[in-house]
């Protein structure tokens, strides 16, 4: 007659080790996704802020002077600072504007 069938202690420990490694990997993946989500949120807010600054210039039909200006441009609950760098172009009726937030 055979003894009771079941798992040995070593088999149980190996299974627990495999489950622990899988859980750690999934926790790491969740952490990376949460971090990238917050970075994407900040990039989106910065992009909205830059577009708002350019829209204000277009709406007021302003012709910005050549140079660098900075201004606060908060979006949501995030305080941001916009940096406008205006450069001249070969055509005197055009200016190049680089907006960085």
Among 59, 56, 42, 77, smallest CA distance to 69 is for 56
Q: Work out the angle at residue 100's Cα, subtended by the Cα atoms of residues 45 and 31, and round it to the nearest 5 degrees.
A: 45
H runs (alpha helix) in the chain = 9-60
Instruction: Supply the CATH number for residue 18's domain.
Output: 3.30.1300
Q: Is 1 within the bounds of a domain?
A: no
pTM over 0.85: no
What are the pLDDT digits (tens) for 30-65? Answer: 988 888 888 898 999 999 999 998 899 899 998 888
What are the pLDDT digits (tens) for 66-98? Answer: 999 998 988 888 899 999 999 999 998 899 999
CA-CA distance, 94 to 89, in Å (whole number)?
Answer: 6
Q: Is 14 within the bounds of a domain?
A: yes
Q: Is 86 within the bounds of a domain?
A: yes
Q: Is 73 within the bounds of a domain?
A: yes
Q: Is 4 within the bounds of a domain?
A: no
| Structure token digits, residue 48 | 């909205």
Q: Is 2 within the bounds of a domain?
A: no
The reported pLDDT for the residue numbered 14 is 94
* Parent domain of 36: 9-100
Q: Is 3 within the bounds of a domain?
A: no
Task: Look at the chain and report how many structural domains it folds into.
Answer: 1
């Amino acid at each position: 007659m055979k003894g009771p069938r079941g798992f040995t202690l070593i088999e149980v420990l190996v299974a627990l080790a495999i489950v622990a490694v899988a859980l750690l990997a999934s926790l790491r993946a969740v952490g990376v996704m949460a971090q990238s989500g917050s970075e994407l949120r900040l990039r989106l807010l910065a992009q909205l802020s830059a577009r708002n600054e350019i829209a204000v210039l277009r709406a007021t039909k302003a012709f910005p002077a050549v140079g660098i200006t900075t201004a606060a441009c908060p979006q949501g609950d995030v305080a941001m600072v916009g940096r406008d760098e205006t450069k001249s172009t070969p055509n005197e009726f055009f200016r190049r504007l680089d907006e960085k937030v």
